[in-house]
Every structure is written in C-alpha cells, then in structure tokens.
C-alpha cells in the first residue's frame, strides 16, 4: 500500500514540477505544468498548478505572464493563498496585485421562505444567487411576496468569496378589522339664488413638437447599445468562470479581464445617458410648450434622471 502511494505521488505532475522548481529548472517545470493544466478537471488542482506556474515564470523574468497565472489560480479557487514563508517577496507582491484586480464573488441565500434580491438598489432576481461585484461595501436586501423583508450591509474583499445569509422576518399578522364609523348624512346642497349665471368659455390648444422624437429615439438606441455592452461584459466573465469549455490561454485571460470591466462601465454609462435622453424626449413631446427641466446622474454602476415641469 505504501509503495502504491509513493508511486502515485512520484507520478504527480505537481510534485515533479515542484522538484524542478526547487532545482531551478523553471523551463522544464513550466512545460510539465502546462501539460497538466490541459488535462486537469478539478478547479482546486488547477489553482495549485497555476500558483506554482506563476512562481516559475517569475524565475524566468516573465512578470506579465506570472500575473496572469496568479489571476487564473484565484479564479479557480478564490480562497487560495501563497505561502509567504516559501515564496519570494516579488511573488507575494505580484500575487497581491492579481487579487486586488479581481472582483469579489458573492453568494447570497435567504432563509425563511422564497424572496427576490436587490443589491445596492438593483434587482437581481430570486434567491439563491452567486455573482461577482466590485470590492467594497454593498447593501443586500431580500423581500418576500407577503411583505416580509431582510437587509444587511457588508463589505466584499477583492478576489474573495463573501457568503451572505438574509433571514426573513417572522410572518406578518393580518391587521385587525377597523370598526365602521357611524355614517353621517351627506350635506344638503345649497340652492343658488335665482338670476342669470355668468358663462365662461376657455380653450387650450397645444401641439406636441415633432422634433422631440429625435432625443427620444436616440435615447432608446443608446440604451439598447448599453444593454448589449452589459451583456457582452457578462459573457467575458462567464467565459472566465466556465470550467467545462476549452482552456483559456494567459493572453486570453488578460484580454477578458481588461475588456469585461471596461464594457461594464461603458454599458452603464450608455444606459444612464440613453434613459435620460429618452425621458427628456418624452417629456418634451407630451408637455410641448411647457417649461421642463431634466436632471441626469450617472455613476459607474447605475444612472437615473429626473424631469420637472410646469404646465
């Protein structure tokens, strides 16, 4: 039995690559790790392979490729750590940079019944939910169909997994019936004194300005473009998370990590601007000739517009 275990350990690509790494043969270690990554189906094993591969690439002076390998390890296993007692200071610094650039993984569940989720004021559908968010404080809310709710504010760390549990309140009791008040007879109408009544005629005409359709149509188009960009950004993240498809090369990982956040930011800005233009066009069209004012606020994650008028 001990002999079988020894043979299995000796045949492990990770063990062999660690031996090459300890001997300073970084090229041979990288080749063995690349071959093992193509065959690996276990995310935890793939994370360990990428972790050692990154350290070998640092030894070869390939800093960018090493950062991409650290990123790949964290995407496979967000809880993975680099042993500070064995890793070089350069490796620790590069590992921390890779973790800081990653979004936080959020897993939300609701106890006490079915509910829909809102995060930072945005609808995320029914619970449970697993998604990625930028690091920092976030407000998590759950609401059941019977009015029960739960709310928490937690801070998500970059490259880490945050598990959020939202317990719904106890069942709401039906309100006691309100006693019917004593009905009073309606007041009797006062008869007007006889005599001729003045006649007042008024006529108001207003035409909707057709030029208002221009910002309305443009706003709808810009909003559609923003929605497409948000969908593409989600596709970038989904490809990084997909462990069943073909392996993603380090260069592809760098491209996906760069394009995903960029598309997400531009998408939200386009949605905010498009909604503001559409609201302004609609207000102009239906309130043509009145005094209107449109206010727009766009952030990196949301946007809204307000319309004020006098008519």
Residue 219 sits in the same domain as residue 304: yes
Residue 74 sits in the same domain as residue 131: no
- Has residue 177 been placed in a domain? no
Interior/surface letters 123-132, b for 16+ CB within 10 angstroms, e for the rest: ebeebebebb
Q: Are strands 161-167 and 104-111 parallel, antiparallel or unpaired?
A: parallel
- Has residue 56 been placed in a domain? yes
CATH code of the domain in which 116 resides: 2.60.40.1120
- Has residue 126 been placed in a domain? yes
What is the value of pTM for the model shown?
A: 0.41
Q: Bridge-partner residues for 118, per DSSP?
A: 123, 141
Q: How many CA atoms lie within 13 A of 3 on its CB side?
A: 0
- Has residue 301 been placed in a domain? yes
- Has residue 282 been placed in a domain? yes
pLDDT of residue 223: 84
CATH code of the domain in which 68 resides: 1.25.40.10
Listed residues 61, 84, 100: the one ending a domain: 100
Residue 92 sits in the same domain as residue 125: no
Provide DSSP, 193-236: PSSPPP-----------GGGHHHHHHHHHHHHHHHHHHHHHHHH
Which structural domain, as residue segments, surrounds residue 86? 11-100
- Has residue 291 been placed in a domain? yes
Neighbours of 17 (CB within 10 A): 25
Residue 239 sits in the same domain as residue 251: yes
The Cα–Cα gap between 248 and 229 comes to: 22
Residue 249 sits in the same domain as residue 302: yes
3-state class (DSSP) for residue 53: helix
Listed residues 51, 82, 100: the one ending a domain: 100
Residue 58 sits in the same domain as residue 110: no
- Has residue 3 been placed in a domain? no
> How many domains is the chain built from?
3
- Has residue 288 been placed in a domain? yes
Q: Bridge-partner residues for 110, per DSSP?
A: 166
The H or E element spanning position 165 is strand 161-167
Q: What are phi and psi of 126, to 5 degrees?
A: -75, 155
> Each residue's pLDDT tens digit in the chain (311 positions)?
444 444 344 458 889 889 989 888 999 989 989 998 998 889 999 999 999 999 999 989 999 999 999 999 898 888 889 888 888 999 999 999 888 888 888 999 999 889 999 999 999 999 999 998 988 899 999 999 999 999 999 998 887 889 999 999 876 555 556 555 555 666 666 665 555 554 444 444 455 566 767 777 887 888 888 788 788 777 767 766 666 666 667 777 777 677 777 887 887 888 788 788 778 778 767 766 555 565 655 555 555 556 555 54
- Alpha helices of 61-209 — where are they, by DSSP H? 63-76, 89-100
Contact yes or no for 233/300 (Cβ under 8 A): no
Residue 242 sits in the same domain as residue 223: yes
């Amino acid at each position: 039995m001990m002999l079988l275990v020894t043979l299995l350990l000796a045949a492990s690509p990770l063990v062999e690559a660690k031996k090459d790494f300890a001997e300073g043969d970084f090229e041979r270690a990288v080749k063995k790790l690349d071959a093992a990554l193509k065959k690996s189906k276990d995310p935890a094993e793939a994370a360990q392979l990428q972790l050692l591969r990154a350290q070998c690439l640092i030894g070869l002076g390939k800093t960018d490729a090493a950062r991409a390998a650290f990123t790949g390890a964290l995407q496979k296993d967000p809880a993975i750590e680099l042993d500070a007692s064995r890793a070089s200071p350069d490796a620790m610094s590069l590992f921390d940079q890779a973790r800081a650039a990653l979004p936080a993984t959020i897993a939300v569940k609701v106890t006490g019944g079915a509910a829909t989720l809102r995060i930072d004021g945005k609808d995320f559908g029914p619970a449970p939910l697993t998604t990625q968010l930028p690091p920092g404080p976030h407000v998590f809310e759950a609401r059941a169909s019977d009015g029960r709710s739960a709310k928490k504010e937690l801070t998500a760390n970059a490259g880490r997994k945050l598990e959020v549990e939202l317990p719904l309140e106890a069942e709401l009791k039906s309100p006691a019936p309100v006693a019917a008040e004593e009905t009073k007879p309606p007041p009797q109408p006062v008869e007007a004194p006889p005599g001729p009544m003045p006649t007042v005629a008024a006529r108001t005409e207003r035409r909707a300005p057709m030029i208002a359709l221009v910002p309305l149509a443009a706003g709808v188009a810009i909003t559609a473009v923003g929605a497409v960009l948000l969908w593409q950004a989600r596709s970038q993240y989904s490809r990084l998370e997909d462990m069943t498809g073909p392996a993603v090369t380090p260069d592809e990982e760098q491209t996906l990590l760069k394009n995903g956040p960029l598309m997400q930011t531009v998408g939200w800005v386009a949605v905010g601007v498009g909604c503001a233009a559409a609201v302004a066009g609609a207000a102009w069209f239906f309130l043509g000739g009145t005094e209107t004012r449109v206010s727009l606020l766009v952030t990196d994650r949301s946007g809204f517009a307000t319309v004020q008028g006098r008519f």
